Chain A
Amino acid sequence: MTLDRRRFLQLTTLGLVATLADSACAPSDNRDSAAAAQPQLITMLGPERVRLLGSHYRAATPSENTADALRAAISSGHGLHIPFVGNKSLDDRIRDDFAAGRTVVVDGWVLAVTEARQAALFSLTPA
């Protein structure tokens, strides 16, 4: 199997993002890594609002109320059979979600399902 540049970036950032996921289960000191993988929504709406959105998403979606479930949901259907994917790919998936109408309304915000899950995962990290 050859790796194109994009796939390479996905896999090399995998470890970084996995750190975030781990931090959701067990708080880590590696805050820099976690911040690097924060949802893009944070830039737009701020961390507090995104955390709140994430909490509300989890409350409205009981089947995705744990970090494992969220990681699985985010990676599902991606075809890589890996627990998580890189930021670049997530951005693409968010765009794809919007294009395909895979949106969800959380606190009135029209979000891509993937970014809503990201927010939910973020809400599980320590504030």
Chain B
Amino acid sequence: MHTDARTLPNGTVLEGDLCIVGAGASGITIARELSNTNLKVLLLEGGGFDFDPQMQELYRGEIVGLPYYPLQAAALHYFGGTTNHWAGFCSTFEPIDFEKRDWVPHSGWPITRADLDPFYARAQKVIGLGPYKYAAADWKNGDPDRVPLLADSRLVRTQMWQFRGTRFGTQYRDEIVNSPNVHLYTHANVVEVEANEELTAVRSARIRTFDGKEYSARAGRFVLACHTIQNARLLLASNRQATAGLGNANDLVGRYFMEHFEMPAGELALSKPETTKTKLYELDYMKGTPRGEIELSPEAQREHRILHGTASVEAGNYGDEVKSTFQFIDTTMMNAMRAWQKGGMKGPMPIAAAAAATAPRTKGPQRFYHLTTRQEQAPNPDSRVTLSTEKDALGMPRARLDWRVTELDKRSMRTFYRVLGGEMGRTDTGRVQIKDWLLSDDKTWPSFISGGWHHMGTTRMNADPKQGVVDANCKVHGLANLYIGGAAVYATAGAVNPTLTLVALSLRLADHLKATND
């Protein structure tokens, strides 16, 4: 079922067993899992079925820390959420990503990779990926040239990626709308979550529309699956009953905001370009062929006490400027990509056309490759989302992002290339050059510091309410019936893009909700 909330009379009260706030990758996944059950599910989406500048403007926020991408362009506010423009890069967190690492402050999840394995396998299908296999050997595809660089290294490995930019809003719209027990309400922006008088459970969600109508949604259980920044914003803005916001008794909501660094950081010169095989690392985005990135082994991470990162290996011309993700896909490019997608993806993809400008200019064996880092940032309580004094058109305080990084972040990146350079030399595969900006002190970052629009943290998972907002089941500590879906629950960021893991966690949450349905 679907209802445009703007058509409802003012003061309408929606009632259900479960209310999911937000219909992006997480919200849609949970709703689908609960479809055809005996639960009456309310799925509240702030936007409609298409991009709407007025709706998107609600995501505009204040940037007060490190330079960051405009918030209203970094995540999408309509049915399908940010999957409406994601690139579909998928890979799994590794066991070490879930572990408590004594050199990474605030690391450690209350769940393990083994706990997520069955859900990863299911998430593959939700996204439309291939088999749940991420070893390089699994993706040789019968091609003898698709082999890892440094196959014999104890310190360096190849991390595989699969690609599928499934638009959840397109893919699952009919299924959701036709579900007998899931009722989707679009244009239903939740501006406040209300708790009972004891502040032990959520009672309702207040919904507001641009024309001034207000409704409420009541349910036995609630899942906030808006978006990492918006989940925190909504909890913090729900401050009429608890001045610090709901679920924030320990001042943790909004903290530990994390990104993945996506920045050019090195060059590789092959010793024997005539015979070295690099095909496994080629990105053929349109075909979606799985590809590899280079990473350091868990052993190397432990030995050097560094964070988890990978490097893509892209053929290029030595000396060419390589842009960070934020530089390369600026808002103009973002709009061009949106127009290309809306126009049926005819003609060359704008990003591919831009990338062609830096393609190798010489023929013959390729000696030089650009190395671009993708790395987790260390959990940092001072990297946080708070509320701005400015309000949006619905009267809700805007988000204020104070993105901060630590010295460990930069030291890890530099050490990665030192170790990689050592291994490339030891095996005489080639030599690695570390970019100038990475060689300076650990505190200074270049103007092109960049993430990948991967927003994680802000309602982190920890068994201890003093160290995390949600427990291992994604339930908010201290509130009996409030859950969080999405990358907001990440305790650490892992090295890989977040969507596959957030879908796996959403499946796990859906199973929990089904199993605990009284």
Contacts and interface: CB of A to CB of B under 8 A. Distances in A.
Interface of A: 40-41, 43-45, 91, 94-95, 97-99, 101, 103, 105, 107-112
A77 to B, nearest CB: 18
Interface stretch (B35-43, B323-331, B345-353, B426-434): B426-434
Interface in B399-456: 417-418, 420-426, 428, 430-436, 439
Contacts of B435: 108
Given A44-B270, A95-B428, A110-B432, 11 more contacts: A44-B271, A44-B367, A91-B428, A99-B426, A105-B434, A108-B435, A109-B431, A110-B421, A110-B424, A110-B433, A112-B425
B426 A111 contact: no
Contacts of A101: 422
Contacts of A107: 433
B418 A105 contact: yes
B434 A108 contact: yes
Contacts of B423: 98
7 contacts: A44-B431, A98-B423, A101-B422, A103-B422, A108-B436, A109-B431, A110-B422
Contacts of A111: 425, 431
B96 interface: no
Most A CB atoms within 10 A — which of B269, B367, B417? B269
Contacts of B421: 103, 109-110
Contacts of B428: 91, 95
Given A95-B428, A107-B433, A44 B269 contact: yes
Nearest to A107: B433
A105 B417 CA distance: 11
B422 A109 contact: no
Interface residues of B, number: 23
A109 B434 CA distance: 6
Nearest to A43: B271
A44 B273 CA distance: 9
Interface of B: 266, 269-271, 367, 417-418, 420-426, 428, 430-436, 439
Contacts of A95: 425-426, 428
Contact of B271 (A40, A97, A112): A40
A98 B418 contact: no
A91 B420 CA distance: 19
B430 A44 contact: yes
B432 A109 contact: yes
Contacts of B430: 44
A98 B426 contact: yes
Contacts of B439: 105, 108
Nearest to B432: A110
B434 A110 contact: yes
A92 to B, nearest CB: 11
A122 to B, nearest CB: 15
B19 to A, nearest CB: 54
B271 A110 contact: no
Nearest to A97: B425
A108 B270 CA distance: 16
A110 B367 contact: no
Most B CB atoms within 10 A — which of A40, A41, A103, A110? A110
A38 to B, nearest CB: 15
A109 B426 contact: no
A37 to B, nearest CB: 18
A97 B424 CA distance: 12
A98 B271 contact: no
Contacts of A112: 425
Contacts of A98: 422-423, 425-426
Contacts of B425: 94-95, 97-98, 103, 110-112
Contacts of A43: 271
A103 B422 CA distance: 7
Contacts of B418: 103, 105, 110
A97 B435 CA distance: 22
B319 to A, nearest CB: 10
B78 to A, nearest CB: 44
B240 to A, nearest CB: 55
Contacts of A97: 425
Contact of A45 (B269, B417, B422, B426): B269
B485 to A, nearest CB: 43
Nearest to A103: B422
